[in-house]
Structure 1
Amino acid sequence: MTTPPRRRADDWPTFQYDTANTGRPRRSAQTRETRGEQVSGDPTERTRWRFDAHHPVVSSPAVVNGTAYVGSTDGIVYAVDTVTGDERWAVETDHHVFSSPAVEGDTVYVGSLDGTLYALAAGSGRRRWGFDTGHPVAASPVVSNGTVYVGDTDGTVYALNASKGTERWRFETGDAMDAACAIADETLYAGSNDGSVYALNLADGTRRWRFETNDAVASAPSVARDTVYVGSNDGNAYALDAADGTKRWQFGTADLVKSSPAVGRDAVFVGSWDGNVYALAADDGTERWRFETGDVVESSPAIVGEMLYVGSGDGTVYALDRSNGVTRWQFGTRNMVMSSPAVVGGVLYVGSNDGRLYAIRT
Structure 2
Amino acid sequence: MKTLRAARLGLPIAALAVVLAGCSSPRELVKPTPLTEISNEKPPQVVWSDSSGGDQNNDLTAIAPVESDGRLFVAGPDGDVLAYDLESGDELWSADLDADLSVGGGAGEGLVVFGSDDGRVFALEADSGALRWQTTIRSTVDAAPSVGFGDVAVRGRDGTLAVLDVENGEVRWRQSRSQPPLTLQGQGRVLMFPDALAAGFDDGTLAVYAREDGNEVWSRTVALPTGRTDVDRMVDVDATPVFADGVFYAASYQGKLVALAAQGGRELWSRNFSNANSIAAGSRALYLSDADGVVWAIDRRSGDALWRQSDLAHRGLTGPALIGGYLVVGDREGYVHVLSSASGALLGRADWGDPLIDPILQVDGRGVAVTRDGELRVFTLD
- Matched with 2:108 is 104
Q: Does 1:189 align with 2:198?
A: yes
- Matched with 1:15 is none
Select which of 223, 228, 232 maps to 2:252.
Answer: 232
Instruction: Determine helix, strand or coil for the equivalent of 1:124.
Output: coil
Select which of 292, 296, 312 maps to 2:316.
Answer: 296
Query: CA, structure 1 residues 153+122, in 2 after alignment: closer, same or farther (shift >3 Å)?
Result: same
Structure 2 distance, partners of 1:108, 1:54, is: 19
Query: CA, structure 1 residues 81+144, in 2 after alignment: closer, same or farther (shift >3 Å)?
Result: closer
- Matched with 2:79 is 75
Q: Deviations over 1:289-341 (max 9, x none)?
A: 122325233x3433244222333334233322211112332233223223222
State the AA in 2 paired with 1:48: W
- Matched with 1:178 is 187
* Residue pair 2:336, 2:351 contacting (<8 A) in 1 also: yes
- Matched with 2:296 is 278
Instruction: Determine helix, strand or coil for the equivalent of 1:251.
Output: strand
- Matched with 1:203 is 212
- Matched with 2:147 is 143
* Residue pair 1:129, 1:165 contacting (<8 A) in 2 also: yes
- Matched with 1:30 is none
What is the aligned length?
320
Q: Does 1:247 align with 2:256?
A: no
Structure 2 distance, partners of 1:208, 1:54, is: 41
Gaps of at least 5 residues in structure 2 are 1-39, 225-234
State the AA in 2 paired with 1:55: D
Deviation at 1:240, TM superposition (A): 1.6
Q: Does 1:356 align with 2:368?
A: no
Query: CA, structure 1 residues 40+319, in 2 after alignment: closer, same or farther (shift >3 Å)?
Result: closer
Structure 1 distance, partners of 2:149, 2:260, is: 25
State the AA in 1 paired with 2:362: V
* Residue pair 1:55, 1:74 contacting (<8 A) in 2 also: no
Structure 2 distance, partners of 1:65, 1:144, is: 14
* Residue pair 2:323, 2:365 contacting (<8 A) in 1 also: no
* Residue pair 2:204, 2:237 contacting (<8 A) in 1 also: yes
- Matched with 2:325 is 306
Deviation at 1:65, TM superposition (A): 4.1
Q: Does 1:323 align with 2:342?
A: yes
Q: CA RMSD in A?
A: 2.5
Q: Which is worse superposed, 189-198 or 242-251?
A: 242-251
* Residue pair 1:60, 1:351 contacting (<8 A) in 2 also: yes
Structure 2 distance, partners of 1:144, 1:75, is: 23
Q: Which is worse superposed, 121-130 or 319-328?
A: 319-328
User: TM-score, normalising length from structure 1?
Assistant: 0.80
* Residue pair 1:273, 1:295 contacting (<8 A) in 2 also: no
User: TM-score, normalising length from structure 2?
Assistant: 0.76
- Higher-Rg member (1/2): 2
* Residue pair 2:337, 2:348 contacting (<8 A) in 1 also: yes
* Residue pair 1:222, 1:260 contacting (<8 A) in 2 also: no
Within-5 A mapping of 1:81-96: 81-96=85-100
Select which of 61, 68, 73 maps to 1:64.
Answer: 68
